[in-house]
């Protein structure tokens, strides 16, 4: 049920998403953002920079028109000094964005928005055994806006144990939709990445959204959409170890990252609250048992 306190425009926005061909629109956006015809891609990029006030001074390549496509611009690398890492024992923020929610996983549930929650088991694709390892632990949901840096980094060092692509819907993940669509993050398409770390299991979940149906990891490349006829990509046969602050994946367009940690290992920064602006590499809190 759509909350009664939403405006008429917000209610229509949410209702429209339920009937739109979400994956078809995402596929169209995928093609448009990879078009390399210079006049077209330059209009897209320059218009985007102006509309969202993108700070190109932080980019490794500062000239917006130097990127071969809109997607190359959107997933641009930053200067090496643009995102300094908070010193250990801090848990690093994995992405630029805003804090949607953070807190404790209680009775298997994570808070989505006022009046809405979803379960860790559903988020992880029905994996009850893995969800149980996070019971009583910490979670954070980070929303990436269009203007943000769209690469995702490791909040602490870890070894990959599993990767799962979970098909689903592609609702918007903004605050309005989070308030109106029950179980939003466990309904949308997502890529679940599980790691073992010095403090136990770590989950990083890349959640897709409308126009954002393409996600990548550094070990598997583009996970979704999979090339036509290709088998789903799963955990690689060779061991993948990523150090603290290393890039682990990216969104081709923006979306949401959810991280999960086991109980008793994290003390949150008390200043964090819903809507807090975040930058990759800043401290979300302090970890016990790390160096």
Q: Which residues are catalytic?
A: 96, 153, 255
* β-bridge partners, 34: none
Sign of CA dihedral 72, 74, 79, 81: negative
Which tokens is 45 given?
């990029």
Q: Closest Cα partner for 268 from 103, 110, 152?
A: 103
Are residues 202 and 138 in contact, defined by beta-carbon separation less than 8 angstroms? no
* β-bridge partners, 195: 160, 202
d(CA 134, CA 200): 10
Sign of CA dihedral 63, 65, 68, 71: positive
Helix (H) or strand (E) holding 251: strand 247-251
Sorted by sequence, the CB contacts under 8 Å of residue 18 that are 6+ apart come out as none
* String of DSSP letters for 203-214: EEEEE-BTTB--
d(CA 285, CA 211): 32
Sorted by sequence, the CB contacts under 8 Å of residue 226 that are 6+ apart come out as 165, 232, 233
């Amino acid at each position: 049920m759509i909350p009664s306190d939403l405006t008429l425009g917000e209610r229509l926005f949410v209702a429209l998403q339920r009937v739109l061909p979400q994956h078809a629109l995402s596929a169209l956006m995928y093609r448009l953002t990879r078009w390399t015809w210079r006049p077209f891609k330059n209009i897209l990029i320059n218009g985007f920079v102006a509309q969202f006030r993108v700070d190109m001074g932080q980019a490794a390549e500062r000239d917006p028109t130097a990127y071969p496509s809109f997607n190359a611009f959107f997933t641009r690398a930053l200067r090496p000094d643009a995102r300094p890492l908070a010193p250990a024992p801090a848990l690093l923020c994995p992405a630029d964005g805003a804090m949607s929610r953070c807190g404790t996983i209680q009775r298997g549930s994570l808070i989505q928005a006022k009046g809405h929650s979803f379960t860790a088991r559903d988020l992880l694709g029905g994996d009850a055994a893995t969800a149980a390892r996070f019971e009583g632990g910490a979670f954070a949901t980070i929303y990436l806006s269009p203007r943000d840096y769209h690469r995702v980094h490791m909040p602490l060092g870890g070894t990959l144990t599993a990767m799962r692509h979970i098909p689903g819907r592609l609702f918007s993940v903004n605050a309005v939709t989070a308030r109106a669509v029950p179980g939003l993050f466990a309904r949308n398409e997502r890529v679940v990445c599980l790691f073992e770390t010095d403090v136990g299991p770590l989950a990083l979940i890349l959640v897709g959204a409308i126009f954002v149906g393409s996600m990548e990891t550094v070990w598997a490349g583009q996970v979704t959409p999979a090339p036509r006829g290709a088998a789903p990509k799963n955990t690689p046969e060779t061991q993948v170890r990523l150090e603290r602050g290393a890039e682990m994946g990216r969104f081709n367009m923006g979306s949401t990252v959810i991280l999960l940690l086991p109980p008793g290992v994290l003390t949150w920064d008390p200043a964090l609250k819903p809507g807090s602006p975040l930058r990759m590499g800043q401290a979300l809190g302090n970890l016990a048992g790390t160096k």
